[in-house]
Amino acid sequence: MHRTYFTTTSAVGTPDVSAAVALPSGKATLPTGLFINNKFVPAVGGETFQTVNPSTEEVICAVSSAQAADVDLAVAAARQAFKTTWGKHCPGTERGKLMFKLADLMEEQAQVLAEVEALDNGKPVKIARDFDIGDSVACLRYYAGWADKIHGQTIETNDLQKLAYTKHEPIGVCGQIIPWNYPIQMWAWKVAPALACGCTIVMKPSELTPLTALMLCELIVQAGFPPGVINCVPGIGSVAGHALTYHLDVDKVAFTGSTLTGRKIMEAAAKSNLKKVTLELGGKSPNLVFESADLDQAANWCLLGITYNMGQDCTAGSRVYVQDTIYDTFLQLLIKKFEQVKVGDPYDEKTFNGPLVSKGQFEKVLGFIDEGKKAGAKVITGGGRQGTKGYFVKPTIFANVTPNMRIVKEEIFGPVLSLASFKTEEEAISLANATTYGLGAGLHSNDAKQCMRVSGALEAGTVWVNQYNLLNNNVPFGGFKQSGIGRELGQYALDNYTAVKAVHFNYGEELEWPPV
Ligand code: NDP
């Protein structure tokens, strides 16, 4: 029998927590409040912060800025929903239906979401629409399919009159802290498995890119999710993020961002209530090109590896090592391809690189470029800002690099590649693994045995063979070494949001007392 579990609440967004913006497809009114219990509300104390268009350096609008008191309200809403309408109170099939509905709504709104992403983040509209949003819709559908397939096991014990079984129960209220580089995709990677498992959510988007996360809240209401299941508290990391990670009624925190903030989150969990933590952190990923590789293809993948999303990518293939016998040929190919990257207006459908996300990120990347030059590395192409307005950076290749240079060791998070050569396979592996990170790694070779050997030796959570930077919603993703804890995506992500309960069931044995 079909049963309706929830009714849709009325439209959200009040005049004081919304802003009108001009988009290529017309004027839009965007929500700018905190989203708690399916309503947009101002911060209790009225605090706001400004979000800036990185193409023009102009303020887009003010957004409510959650403080500790607001986080308390959002966590209370999430707890109430967990105890009443979600969690164990809503069958998986119903959770899945709502998630499918949300995916459909997101797909319908892909163009306007992409335009707002281009406005707030600088991401080219075509990439936002076709990849970020396309993959996020697919991610929601993938986990919607899981929602009624989260089973435990029946386990035989040594006793014939007893039975043991496990249940995979939702962990509870989850704090989810996401970064600015993939605002919609990181939202989907966090929200989708948590909803499928029956958890409720308090989401904190980055202060640099809060707008699309808030637009998605409108879709949450339209899809019919009960109040409190998903809440959103835009705000400053050291205030709203800090409050969430130290909160005593948050059962789990999932985080994507820098390794530095990841450490703070583990510390917060340890010092508060030992909440469960998953971390997806930084990288300094190597891309190895062997002499047997299809060089044109390898150059395409290496280019994609460092210029996709303007290099603001945790798996950016920022260190390319090329076998010495093909180094010169490969370098020429790569230069040609780098110089064809179209950098400019993110609203232009042909743009591949928009601006970096913020003044801070722009200055950080330019600082690394200056430092590389001073340290003796040679700029082969690019090497600075593009234009005079907006945070645009030319895709840059450095050669003559040495392993101790900061541009080779540290995550730059911009379109800056360092290129060096190697002689042997052993040397390539050793260079690739000489990092504290272990998120991604790539290798390009037409020798199948070499591909097997090298992929086995690389210390990274994801290894790409003859490709780079492509992920699938059904394949796990996460880091070795200091690149993180836990896995997102695929069936593996369900472990992050469930607690395993073992039930020992006695249906016959009588206990004689005293037992001896
Ligand atoms: P952060 O790791 O500081 O930011 C990621 C998220 O964490 C944001 O929502 C941020 O909020 C929040 N946050 C910040 N401080 C705290 C805190 N004390 N407690 C809880 N949450 C917090 O990265 P940045 O934006 O500062 O970028 C710095 C560098 O980090 C980049 O240059 C890049 O190297 C790396 N990075 C890596 C990413 C990845 O995908 N692995 C993604 C983004 C950055 P708020 O935005 O308000 O600061």
Stretch 139-158: mean pLDDT, rounded? 96
Q: Is 409 in the pocket of ligand 1 (CB under 6 A)?
A: no
C-alpha of residue 264 to centroid of ligand 1, in Å:
11
Angle CA 247–251–252, to nearest 5: 95
pLDDT at position 220: 98
C-alpha of residue 213 to centroid of ligand 1, in Å:
16
Stretch 413-435: mean pLDDT, rounded? 98
SS3 content of the chain, % helix, strand, coil (to 5): 40, 20, 40
Tell me how long the chain is: 516
**Per residue in 84-110, pLDDT tens?**
999 999 999 999 999 999 999 999 999
- Both structure tokens of 158: 């040594």
By annotation, the residues acting in catalysis are: 280
Residue spans of beta strands (DSSP E) within 340-435: 378-381, 396-399, 416-422
pLDDT at position 118: 98
Q: What is the pTM of this model?
A: 0.96
Q: Is 318 in the pocket of ligand 1 (CB under 6 A)?
A: no
Q: Is 179 in the pocket of ligand 1 (CB under 6 A)?
A: yes
Which residues make beta-bridge pairs with 499? 169
* Cα–Cα nearest to 434, from 286, 322, 289, 287: 286
- Tell me whether domains 18-281+487-499 and 286-465 share a fold: no
Q: Is 411 in the pocket of ligand 1 (CB under 6 A)?
A: yes
pLDDT at position 232: 98
- DSSP letter at 1 equals -
Torsion angle, alpha carbons of 147, 244, 102, 346, to 10: -130
Q: Is 238 in the pocket of ligand 1 (CB under 6 A)?
A: yes
C-alpha of residue 247 to centroid of ligand 1, in Å:
19
The residue whose C-alpha atom lies closest to atom 48 belonging to ligand 1 is: 237
Domain range 286-465, its CATH number among 3.40.50.1820, 3.40.309.10, 3.60.15.10, 3.40.47.10: 3.40.309.10
Q: Is 479 in the pocket of ligand 1 (CB under 6 A)?
A: no
* Cα–Cα nearest to 386, from 336, 418, 338: 338
Q: Is 245 in the pocket of ligand 1 (CB under 6 A)?
A: yes
Q: How confident is the model at residue 344 (pLDDT cuts 50, 70, 90)?
A: very high
Is residue 6 pLDDT above 50, yes or no? no
The residue whose C-alpha atom lies closest to atom 15 belonging to ligand 1 is: 237
**Per residue in 355-387, pLDDT tens?**
999 999 999 999 999 999 999 999 999 999 999
- Beta-sheet pairing, 416-422 with 396-399: parallel
Q: Which residues make Cβ contacts (< 8 Å) with residue 380, sequence separation at least 6?
A: 331, 335, 397, 398, 399, 419
Stretch 307-332: mean pLDDT, rounded? 98
Task: Say whether the peptide bond before residue 355 is cis (omega within 30 degrees of 0).
Answer: no
pLDDT at position 11: 41
Neighbours of 264 (CB within 10 A): 17
**Atom number, ligand 1, closest to the C-alpha of residue 205:** 9
CB 218 within 8 A of CB 212: no
Stretch 144-163: mean pLDDT, rounded? 93
CB 63 within 8 A of CB 234: yes
Ramachandran bin of 490, using left for φ above 0, alpha for ψ from -120 to 50, beta for the remaining angles: left
Could you state, in order of their start, the residue ranges of all structural domains in the chain?
A: 18-281+487-499, 286-465
- DSSP letter at 131 equals I
Q: Is 410 in the pocket of ligand 1 (CB under 6 A)?
A: no
Query: Which architecture characterizes domain 18-281+487-499 according to CATH?
Result: 3-Layer(aba) Sandwich (3.40)
C-alpha of residue 178 to centroid of ligand 1, in Å:
8
**Atom number, ligand 1, closest to the C-alpha of residue 244:** 20
**Per residue in 14-65, pLDDT tens?**
547 999 999 999 999 999 999 999 999 999 999 999 999 999 999 999 999 9
- Both structure tokens of 235: 């705000």
Between residues 309 and 512, which one has the greater pLDDT?
309
Q: Is 237 in the pocket of ligand 1 (CB under 6 A)?
A: yes
- DSSP letter at 37 equals T
From 186, 206, 439, give the residue whose CB has the most ligand 1 atoms within 8 Å, as the site to mutate.
Answer: 206
Mean pLDDT of the chain: 95
Angle CA 213–217–221, to nearest 5: 165
The residue whose C-alpha atom lies closest to atom 26 belonging to ligand 1 is: 258
**Atom number, ligand 1, closest to the C-alpha of residue 178:** 9
DSSP string computed for 79-91: HHHHHHTSGGGS-
- Both structure tokens of 329: 């040929």
Which residues make beta-bridge pairs with 502? 166
How far from chain centre, in Å, is Cα 34? 21
d(CA 450, CA 305): 21
Q: How confident is the model at residue 490 (pLDDT cuts 50, 70, 90)?
A: very high
Stretch 150-163: mean pLDDT, rounded? 91
Q: How confident is the model at residue 2 (pLDDT cuts 50, 70, 90)?
A: very low
C-alpha of residue 263 to centroid of ligand 1, in Å:
11
C-alpha of residue 294 to centroid of ligand 1, in Å:
37
d(CA 464, CA 469): 7
**Per residue in 280-313, pLDDT tens?**
999 999 999 999 999 999 999 999 999 999 999 9
SS3 annotation, 443-484: EECCCHHHHHHHHHHCCCCEEEECCCCCCCCCCCECCCHHHE
d(CA 325, CA 330): 10
How far from chain centre, in Å, is Cα 58? 26
